[in-house]
Amino acid sequence: MIDARHLTKVFHDKKRGEIRAVDDVSFRCEPGRIYGLLGANGAGKTTTLRLLATLLKPTAGDATVAGFGVATAPERVRASLGFLAASTALYGRLTARETIAYFGQLNGMDDALIAARTKLLADELEMHDFLDRRVDKFSTGMKQKTSIARTLIHDPAVLIFDEPTLGLDVMAARTIVRFVRDCRARGKTVIYSTHIMSEVEKLCDAIGIIHDGRLLATGTLEELRIAYAESDLEEIFVKVVTGAGKAAA
């Protein structure tokens, strides 16, 4: 489970002063569920995810990931977590297989387990055609699939995907969306951050809309449709972030 409670992150800038990148954000996601974090660029999505992944320390509030506190047990959180960051870089001189194996070794896995997990992930992500090619020759979709495989090589219970289909063609994006859906079916706890409405509609059991660092609305897609008297998620999103308000009761 992921349980975020009043998470807040404040940065201080000499010119701009105090910047509340994440402001009192609370939500939960349980095993076998996908929580969609929906927001425009700069809304606070990535900062929230970095707090959950222990890459940043909260200014206030707390969160537990797989039962471990992000502030009190960050090593245990990281061992339980697979975090695909939007800006993840790969070392071009390694092959996809070598990249995945390296991260398996970092997570204390033996060679046999790494080989078995690599095959499984390559099957699911359709990677066998390029598994032994060098990363610097890859398309954007190949790089993204390699990043996902290296992130999940240790089979973590909790998965965080930050804009996983950004810049991908239709077929590569479909493969990744299908893979995320399969993760839910295997009982993983999944946070899926994106600004692509159609992916949220297809995948997410619950949705949180974040804007200017604040979680302004949360619920299932059907609950949000009823609350904002709109069937289209994009229209709901616009109503939420512009303050148009909920429908009258």
Do residues 118 and 68 both lie within one domain? no
Number of domains, the chain: 2
Q: Are strands 68-69 and 33-38 parallel, antiparallel or unpaired?
A: unpaired
Percent of the chain whose predicted confidence (pLDDT) is above 90? 82
Considering 155, 185, 201, which residue would you say is the last residue of a domain? 155
> Do residues 62 and 100 share a domain?
no
Residue 88 pLDDT grade (very low, low, confident, very high; cuts 50, 70, 90): low
> 113, 159, 161, 167: which is closest to 143 by C-alpha?
167
Average pLDDT, the chain: 92
| 71 and 42, same domain (yes or no) | yes
In a shared domain, residues 241 and 118 = no
Is pLDDT of 248 > 70? no
Q: Is 169 found in the same domain as 74? A: yes
Q: Model pTM?
A: 0.90
Q: How confident is the model at residue 85 (pLDDT cuts 50, 70, 90)?
A: confident
In this structure, the answer to whether residues 164 and 248 fall within a common structural domain is: yes
Q: Could you give the percent of the chain with pLDDT greater than 70?
A: 97
Q: Are residues 110 and 167 in the same domain?
A: no
pLDDT at 249: 40
| 167-226 pLDDT, tens digit each | 888 998 999 999 999 999 999 999 999 888 999 999 999 999 999 999 999 999 999 999
Looking at residues 3-13, what average pLDDT do you find?
94
Distance (Å, whole) CA 132 – CA 122: 11
Q: Taking 50 as the threshold, does the pLDDT of residue 105 lie above it?
A: yes
Q: Clarify whether residues 73 and 170 are in a common domain.
A: yes
Q: Two tokens at 40?
A: 């425009």
**CA-CA distance, 138 to 133, in Å (whole number)?**
8
How many other β-carbons are positioned within 10 Å of the β-carbon of residue 198? Answer: 12
Question: 57 lies in which domain range?
Answer: 1-80+158-249
